[in-house]
Chain A
């Protein structure tokens, strides 16, 4: 999943509005940041085992919980941040094809090969997230404008990624 992860972060904002959106956005992409870092460092990360497997994500979630709890003393919010990190793995199982544990099976619906289906699923997560996010905004005359801008921008990004996938199918991965 690509931009759909932002939907999870936006939905979490509705659960606990005191958590900064930046923290939630970082949390929702932790496995991908690790993946990018490992790639840049040229560390072998077979099928994303070090970044997207269950043990790796549980470790990231524990670290995220610890960092957020220590810096804010808000343990409930820290639990939500950890949950957002775990949501990355769960959402990737819908659209991707990810490792479970060393020696374990790969799981996922692998929708990246079907960009239309991928867009529909990610779009659904984005819509739910954006609607929930809208309820965290202060009341104003036309609240739907802010939600529409967020929704439009995220859907446009996702559409761009899906189109890029169609046009650059043979791009190598790390």
Chain B
């Protein structure tokens, strides 16, 4: 009986650790993708506006 309880306890700890590591990696991935997405937007938006501004300046001259 004590050994069965120990098995259940170990099983609970293992399953808890698995859940934590899954959440941890999901959080990691979400944070990284969110950051990289924001960096891409912050880089591409001013670049496109700059390109448009220089192109339209050339056309209007």
Contact = CB atoms under 8 A, between A and B. Distances in A.
Interface of A: 2-3, 5-6, 9-10, 21-22, 25-26, 29, 32-33, 35-36, 39-40, 42, 133, 137-141, 146, 149-150, 153-154, 157, 161, 171-174
B39 to A, nearest CB: 5
14 contacts: A3-B42, A10-B46, A21-B47, A22-B43, A29-B42, A42-B25, A42-B28, A140-B57, A140-B61, A146-B56, A150-B46, A171-B31, A172-B30, A172-B31
Nearest to A173: B31
Q: How large is the interface on B (under 10, 10 to 19, 20 to 34, 35 or more residues)?
A: 20 to 34
Given A32-B35, A137-B57, 11 more contacts: A25-B42, A25-B46, A25-B47, A36-B35, A40-B32, A137-B53, A138-B54, A149-B52, A150-B49, A150-B53, A157-B41
Query: Which 8 pairs of residues, A with B, have the shortest CB-CB distance?
Result: A146-B53, A39-B32, A138-B57, A40-B32, A172-B27, A36-B35, A36-B36, A25-B43
Contacts of A149: 49, 52-53
Main secondary structure of the interface of B (DSSP, over half): helix
B54 A157 contact: no
Given A36-B32, A174-B31, A26 B43 contact: yes
A36 B31 CA distance: 8
A161 B45 CA distance: 15
Main secondary structure of the interface of A (DSSP, over half): helix
B61 A138 contact: yes
Contact of B60 (A2, A5, A141, A154): A141
B50 interface: yes
Nearest to B34: A171
Contacts of B29: 40
B9 interface: no
Contact of B28 (A25, A39, A141): A39
A5 B43 CA distance: 10
A137 B50 CA distance: 9
B8 interface: no
A10 B39 CA distance: 16
